[in-house]
Amino acid sequence: MTAVSSPPRTIRIGSRKSQLALVQTHWVKEQLQKSFPQIVFEVHTMATQGDKILDVALAKIGDKGLFTKELELGMLNQEIDFAVHSLKDLPTNLPQGLILAAITERENPADALVLNEKYKGQQIEDLPAGVVIGTSSLRRLAQLRHRFPHFAFKDVRGNLITRMAKLDAGEYDALILAVAGLERLGMSDRIHQILPPDISLHAVGQGALGIECRGEDTEVISLLKAIEHQPTRDRCLAERAFLRDLEGGCQVPIGVNTEIKAGQLTLTGIVASVDGQKVVKDVVTGAVTNAEALGTELANILRKKGAKEILSQIFAEIQRSSATNL
């Protein structure tokens, strides 16, 4: 008697509904489908709290899981098998039962200057006093206020297409956006300048995708390892350890930069006050095999230089804003 083989498992992939999230998620699906053609992969979309609240600045909401909680509940409730995140949106402490199973190869993690047509051809250093720069990131805001105190800054929310429409309509003179997001949406032609690290250190995990799943799901974990990029994982684990040790959330002005050369990982980190007046910055280098330890080491260095006091003031302000917005 011939044994009846069981049908292949259907793997359900969770994603936010935004255009960028779907582009990223379908890229992951395509990569996995190439490696495992016998498996069925389905994309399931969910709206997160961060997608629903568009009239309040992200920093004032005060929730570290703004773009991830609903997807994480979906995994814990067995509704989806794994979720694709922009790694910069994924908190460094995950819910019990979930793990960061894979990190994909990083795109350019830098920030980009995108200008209204009237400033076409200019660099950020050339812009006149009083120009209105749009950003929803405290990290970008703090660093740019430090370097360019003569600019005006205004919060901007909505997906990338919405933000660009506001820029083109003249509500803003410029936007600061992630290079990776613009490139993934085929909008790299809108980048006027890629900001160097001495102007803006990027967000922890920026440019990489983080794939989260249930820690007990060994089958899914083994599949996801096929699309992991180890150098990116090493860099991002160092960055995330640095952020976690400083108890910083996604909406805290902490920036990083990492590079790997000849087995050595160099991690640069910055903590800045929102007004840009106080900045602490340093760098560590060590074996790439000690990536997370390097992140912790840098956090300790910056804490001794005053990072703890800066972050305590910011956390207190976020808590006050969160209470106001309840």
Residue 33 has pLDDT above 80, yes or no: yes
Higher pLDDT, 7 or 299: 299
Choosing from 63, 89, 111, 173, the catalytic residue is 89
- Residue 55's pLDDT band, with cuts at 50, 70 and 90, is very low
Question: What are 78's two structure tokens?
Answer: 């067995």
Quick: pLDDT tens for 86-110.
Answer: 999 999 999 999 999 999 999 999 9
- Going by C-alpha positions, the residue among 283, 105, 136, 303 that lies closest to residue 201 is 283
Angle between helices 19-35 and 160-168 (to 10 degrees): 140
If asked whether residues 71 and 215 sit together in one domain, one would say yes
Question: Is there a domain that residue 24 lies in?
Answer: yes
Give the pLDDT of residue 5.
61
Q: Which of 216, 226, 204 is nearest to 81 (CA)?
A: 216
Number of H helices, E strands in the chain: 11, 13
Q: For a pLDDT cut of 90, what percent of the chain falls above it?
A: 81
**Which H or E run includes 143?**
helix 138-147
Higher pLDDT, 6 or 165: 165
CA quadruple 94, 96, 98, 102: dihedral positive or negative?
positive
pLDDT at 247: 78
Quick one: how far is CA 45 from the chain centroid? 19
CA distance 250 to 321: 16
**How many domains does the chain fold into?**
3
Q: Which domain holds residue 266?
A: 229-326
Is residue 200 assigned to a domain?
A: no
- Tell me, yes or no, whether 199 lies in a domain: no
The model carries a pTM of 0.89
Which of 137, 155, 162 lies closest to 86 in space, CA to CA? Answer: 137
Query: Residue ranges of the alpha helices (H) in 229-307?
Result: 230-245, 291-302
Q: Do 326 and 267 fall within a single domain?
A: yes
* CATH at residue 283: 3.30.160.40
In tens, the pLDDT along 200-235 reads 999 999 999 999 999 999 999 999 999 999 999 999
pLDDT in tens, 109-146: 999 999 999 999 999 999 999 999 999 899 999 999 99
The two structure tokens encoding residue 235: 């860099």
| DSSP state for residue 217 in the 8-state scheme | -
Q: Are 1 and 100 found together in one domain?
A: yes
Residues 1 and 101 in one domain: yes
Q: Is 173 a catalytic residue?
A: no
